[in-house]
Amino acid sequence: MRALVRLYPRRWRDRYESEILALLDERPMSIADGIDLVRGALDAHLHPQVPGRARTAQPLTHRIPGLVALTAGLLWTWNLAYLALRADLAGDWGSLAGIAFVLMLLSLPGDYMAAGHGRRVAIGLGVIAACFVGIAAIPALPIKVVLAAIGYPLIFGGMLGLAAVRAGIGSRGRWRLIGLAIALPVMIGIPVAIGVTATSPSIRLLYALIIPYGLAWLLIGLRMAIRGAPTIIDPPAGIVEPEVQPA
């Protein structure tokens, strides 16, 4: 039950978390109370009501990156689930997942990249991508091995990390997300991938292992859409509404 409080926005938790945790300790809570907490968390995201702070209204354009990321997550998840379940494996890899990948990239550029930390992360990701392309261009190396061993964790993990920054997910949450969506599937997938051929039934397991990546983008996209994520062309700060005057 206490974990549900973490669903609330950070500003809300800064103000009320200790109180509500004390309340949960002192009064037995039912399943209905848990559902009520989830509804309250959703309300707190949609209608921030933290006293003493100006409410920030996000322009519609700030929702677009989140909706793009959400769409990418949906496409990725659907495509990989389809590939993992369907009988005929030939030829469809990369169709919708490729579009999803492009959408993921498009959702990343934001005003945070103009700041020091974000710029360093973006440059670092570009350097890694360039190294990956360079290594993959060496004819003697099998491209699939390079893609699986280097490209997926670094490129896809880096993108997920950037998107998590953009969604305002804290450092600990980012690493958990990357661990669950990237590191764990790769650790399971490497033994499966050794000796795998395009016609092996094990390829379905590899596809299934990549599904959490799409789910992570779904989560991040939803959060970005709710919180708003300024783009490069938008002003970095939202429109500040005046405080509501007491009745």
From 13-21, 119-127, 137-145, 193-201, give the range in contact with another protein by CB under 8 A. 13-21
Rounded Cα distance between 168 and 144, Å, is 33
**Taking CB under 8 A as the rule, does residue 49 contact another protein?**
yes
List binders of another protein among 207-246 (CB under 8 A): 244-246
Residue 24 binds another protein, judged by CB under 8 A:
yes
Is the Cβ of residue 44 or residue 103 nearer to another protein in the bound state?
44
* 32 lies in the site for another protein, by CB under 8 A: yes
Q: Which of 3, 26, 138, 242 forms a contact with another protein (CB under 8 A)?
A: 26
Q: Which position among 2, 6, 10, 33 is part of the footprint of another protein (CB under 8 A)? A: 33
| Region near another protein per CB under 8 A, out of 31-39, 90-98, 119-127, 214-222 | 31-39
Asked if 198 is part of the footprint of another protein (rule: CB under 8 A), the reply reads: no
Q: Characterise 45 by phi-psi region: left (phi > 0), alpha (psi -120 to 50), beta (else).
A: alpha
Q: Is 13 in the site for another protein (CB under 8 A)?
A: no
Is 44 one of the binding residues for another protein (CB under 8 A)?
yes
Output the smallest distance, CB 158 to another protein, in A.
36
Work out whether 129 is an interface residue with another protein (CB under 8 A): no
User: Interface with another protein includes 20 (CB under 8 A)?
Assistant: yes
Q: By CB under 8 A, which span of 45-53, 104-112, 152-160, 195-203 interacts with another protein? A: 45-53
Binding another protein by CB under 8 A: which of 87, 138, 237, 247? Answer: 247
Which listed residue (2, 10, 14, 22) binds another protein by CB under 8 A? Answer: 22
Question: Is residue 50 a contact residue for another protein (CB under 8 A)?
Answer: yes
| Residue 74, CA atoms < 13 Å, CB-side half-sphere | 8
In whole angstroms, give the CA distance from residue 71 to residue 77: 10
Tell me whether residue 55 or residue 204 sits nearer to another protein (CB atom).
Answer: 55
- 3-state SS track over the chain: CHHHHHHCCHHHHHHHHHHHHHHHHHCCCCHHHHHHHHHHHHHHHHCCCCCCCCCEECCHHHCHHHHHHHHHHHHHHHHHHHHHHCCCCCCCCCCHHHHHHHHHHHHCCCHHHHCHHHHHHHHHHHHHHHHHHHHHCCCCCCHHHHHHHHHHHHHHHHHHHHHHHHCCCCHHHHHHHHHHHHHHHHHHHHHHHCCCCCCCCHHHHHHHHHHHHHHHHHHHHHHHHHHCCCCCCCCCCCEECCCCCCC
Residues that bind another protein (CB under 8 A): 12, 15-16, 19-20, 22-24, 26-27, 29-30, 32-33, 35-41, 43-44, 49-51, 244-247
